[in-house]
């Protein structure tokens, strides 16, 4: 079973919410929509569900045009950011509600509800009301209600964003297990790159209503096609230094130079943007090819197992992620090193021309 969006546009009061959206999902796939707030993720989800109709374009389910089909006639379930449950129904009745509406037999309903509750570890809470539950438990109930009917399409709109950090971590792992057992098409939206990476599957990066890149998550992470994708798909933010390539030498900033080797020699001379992920910087020179950058320490943030060092190079802010704990004083002059193989190089149109080699596992 497949879901396709063809040339979807959505304009509301002359504001473009979505433009030229084209993609296709297969059954059993896990798809993440990554984008900043107001990038169009929720609008897209609503069109996929059938709650909104696009201004232009078609939605195809298994090749059939369902654009005008109302959401009630489609096989879709949706989970929202705000834990939405019927406040006067017990957990049991909440989960059972879609089955009752669909006219299932009572014994069948009971079996499905208990099975789904067990999958989400809320089988002991079936008699409680949502108001008596914690945030995590309420959201689990909402997810159970979405799963119980085994719909073709399962949409989740930033479902974990209102939960505690630790709870989010745990639920992500649980959700992955749950999704593995389903043949539904799962679409999950988020603003956090780390969540996108954890969910795996395929990713579609959206910005300002347009699809920027789509593909398997690790591939998009390792090869962001445009600089914008690299910016959106980075946490901490990706570092960027402008520079140029001339005569087989790269010059970044005003004094960082290194020779161009191997596959990079194919790049024509010109101006380029060089992107460096914060964990590719190091305080030690590990390889003789590593390039040195002299910087001044602005701030050092320790997070238990790693340190984020904020430095400035010529007033340009950079972030270095170093494993372990490295306290540094503000104002210290330090050298940071980067292996030129780890650079993301973007041309003047901000298209990717070189990326670090994919590491084979």
Partner 1 sequence: MEKWENNKAWFLVLPAFIIVAFSAIIPLMTVVNYSIQDIFGPGQAVYVGTEWFEEMLGNHRLHDALWRQFLFSGLVLLIEIPLGILIALAMPKSGWGVSACLVTLALPLVIPWNVIGTIWIIFTRPDIGLLGVGINSLDLLEVPFDHTAKPIYAWITLLAMEIWHWTPLVALLAYAGLRAIPEAYYQAAKIDGASSWATFIYIQLPKMRGVLTIAVLLRWMDSFLIYAEPFALTGGGPGNTTTFLSIYLVKLATMQFDLGPAAAFSLIYFVIILLFSFLFYQALLNVGRGEKT
Partner 2 sequence: MARIVLDKIAHSYDSNPDETSEYALKWIHSIFENEGAYALLGPSGCGKTTLLNLISGLLTPSKGRVLYDAADVTDLPPEKRNIAQVFQFPVLYDTMSVYDNLAFPLRNRGVPAGKVSTRVHEIAEILDLSLVLKKKAAGLTADAKQKVSLGRGLVRNDVAAILFDEPLTVIDPQLKWYLRQKIKLIHEELKLTLIYVTHDQVEALTFAEKVAVMHEGEIVQTGTPKELFENPEHTFVGYFIGSPGMNFLPCTLDGTVAHVDGTDIMLDHKISELGRKARGKLELGIRPMYLQLCSGSTNDGVPVQIQAVEDLGSYNIVTVMLAGKPIRVRQEEGLPIPSDKARLVFPPQWIRLYADGRLVKSKEVENGKVGK
Contact residues for partner 2, defined by CB under 8 A = 36-37, 134-135, 164-167, 169, 191-194, 197-198, 200, 217-218, 221, 235-237, 277, 279, 298-299, 301-305, 308, 310, 321, 323, 325, 330, 359, 361
Question: What percent of the chain is helix, strand and coil (3-state, nearest 5)?
Answer: 30, 35, 35
CB of 191 to partner 2, least distance (A): 6
Residues 221 and 197 sit within 8 Å (Cβ to Cβ) = yes
Determine, following the binding rule CB under 8 A, whether residue 288 of this chain makes contact with partner 1.
Answer: no
Of 338, 316, 293, give the one whose Cα is nearest residue 242: 316
CB of 232 to partner 2, least distance (A): 9
Spacing of C-alpha 102 from chain mean position: 34
- Residue among 14, 68, 105, 254 that touches partner 1 (CB under 8 A): 68
Q: Which of residues 172-201 bind partner 1 (CB under 8 A)?
A: none
Count residues contacting partner 1 (CB under 8 A)?
A: 5
C-alpha span between 38 and 41 (Å, rounded): 7
Complex with partner 1: residue 71 or 126, whichever CB lies closer:
71
Spacing of C-alpha 29 from chain mean position: 15
Hey, what are 65's tokens? 């045009």
- Residue among 22, 70, 194, 248 that touches partner 1 (CB under 8 A): 70
- Exposed/middle/buried for residue 359 (C-beta within 10 Å: 0-12, 13-18, 19+): exposed
70: phi then psi, degrees, rounded to nearest 5: -70, 155
Q: Taking the CA atoms of 80, 108, 99 and 134 in sequence, report the sign of the dihedral they define.
A: negative
Task: Tell me which stretch binds partner 1 (CB under 8 A): 48-56, 77-85, 129-137, 236-244.
Answer: 48-56
CB of 53 to partner 1, least distance (A): 5
Contact pattern for partner 1 over residues 107 through 136, marking x by CB under 8 A: ------------------------------
Residues 2 and 66 sit within 8 Å (Cβ to Cβ) = no
CB of 56 to partner 2, least distance (A): 29
Task: Tell me which stretch binds partner 1 (CB under 8 A): 28-36, 50-58, 88-96, 119-127.
Answer: 50-58
CB of 46 to partner 1, least distance (A): 8
Do strands 153-157 and 76-79 pair parallel, antiparallel, or not at all (unpaired)?
A: parallel
CB of 180 to partner 1, least distance (A): 34
Which residues on neighbouring strands pair with residue 207, listed in sequence order? 210
Q: Which helix (H) or strand (E) element contains residue 359?
A: none
Contact positions toward partner 1, by CB under 8 A? 51-53, 68, 70
């Amino acid at each position: 079973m497949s879901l396709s969006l063809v040339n979807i546009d959505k304009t509301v009061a002359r504001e473009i919410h979505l433009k030229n959206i084209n993609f296709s999902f297969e059954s059993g796939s896990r798809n993440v929509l990554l984008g900043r707030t107001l990038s169009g993720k929720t609008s897209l989800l609503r069109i996929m569900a059938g709650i909104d109709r696009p201004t232009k374009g078609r939605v195809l389910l298994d090749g059939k045009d369902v654009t005008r089909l109302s959401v009630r006639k489609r096989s879709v379930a949706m989970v929202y950011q705000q834990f939405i449950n019927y406040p006067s129904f017990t957990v049991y009745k909440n989960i059972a509600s879609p089955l009752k509406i669909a006219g299932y037999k009572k014994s069948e309903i009971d079996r499905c509800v208990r099975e789904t509750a067990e999958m989400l570890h809320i089988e002991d809470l079936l008699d409680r009301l949502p108001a008596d539950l914690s945030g995590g438990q309420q959201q689990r109930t909402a997810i159970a209600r979405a799963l119980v009917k085994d719909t073709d399409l399962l949409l989740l709109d930033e479902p974990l964003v209102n939960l505690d950090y630790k709870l989010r971590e745990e639920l992500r792992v649980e959700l992955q297990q749950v999704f593995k057992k389903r043949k539904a098409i799962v679409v999950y939206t988020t603003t956090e790159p780390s969540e996108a990476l954890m969910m795996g599957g395929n990713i579609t990066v959206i910005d300002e209503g347009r699809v920027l890149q789509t593909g398997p998550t690790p591939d998009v992470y390792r090869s962001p096609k445009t600089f914008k994708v690299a910016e959106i798909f980075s946490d901490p933010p990706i570092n960027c230094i402008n520079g140029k390539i001339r005569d087989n030498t790269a010059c970044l900033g005003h004094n960082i130079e290194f020779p161009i080797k191997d596959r990079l020699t194919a790049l024509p001379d010109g101006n380029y943007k060089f992107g460096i992920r914060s964990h590719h910087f190091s305080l030690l020179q590990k390889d003789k090819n590593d390039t040195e950058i002299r910087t001044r320490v602005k701030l050092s943030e320790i997070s238990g197992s790693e340190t984020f060092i904020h430095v400035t190079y010529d007033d340009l802010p950079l972030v270095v992620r170093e494993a372990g704990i490295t306290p540094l004083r503000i104002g210290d002059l330090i050298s940071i090193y980067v292996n030129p193989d780890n650079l993301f190089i973007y041309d003047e149109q901000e298209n990717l021309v070189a990326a670090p080699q994919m590491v084979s596992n």
